[in-house]
Amino acid sequence: MFKLFLIIATTTSIQAFANYNIPLLVKEVHEKNIENGITISTKCEIYNRLVLITKKVEDIESVRSKIIQVNGDMNKLINDADNGYFIFPETPEDGVINMYYAQKILQNGYVRKVKLFESSGDGDKSIQNTSKSAFKIRKFLDLNCN
């Protein structure tokens, strides 16, 4: 009986640990300065109770965190966005790469990236998820990643 309890407690702890360590939402911006070739990057990761913002200039990095509480059914929004359709609008050739995505934990424990928006910054077409939920998540990322 005691061994069974340990197995259940360990399984629950691993699942809780996995959910805590995987960001729900991610926004990345990478910009390469054409004049001197320096790359500037910002990555914002939103967890249930935490926002981590990492800023880099080449190999110099800073990390800032802030405590938040995500209310509402974010998993429903992510599931809805996962069923969204994509369009491929033109993007400017500005050297800025933008990526917005959510992460969905599947029943088997694997994580699937749900694309919300992506642009390459080199004039190619971008990828835009057209679902209303994807748009809401992108705006939520913009609000919380400053």
Q: Judge whether 89 lies within some domain.
A: yes
Tally of domains in the chain: 1
In-domain check, residue 66: yes
Query: What average pLDDT does the segment 68-94 reach?
Result: 89
* pTM of the complete model: 0.81
Residue 128 in this model has a pLDDT that exceeds 70: yes
11 lies in some domain: no
> Average of pLDDT values for 127-132?
95
Does the pLDDT of residue 61 top 90, yes or no?
A: yes
DSSP state of 38: -
pLDDT, average across residues 8-12: 32
pLDDT classification of 26: cutoffs 50, 70, 90: very high
**Domain boundaries, position 112:** 24-144
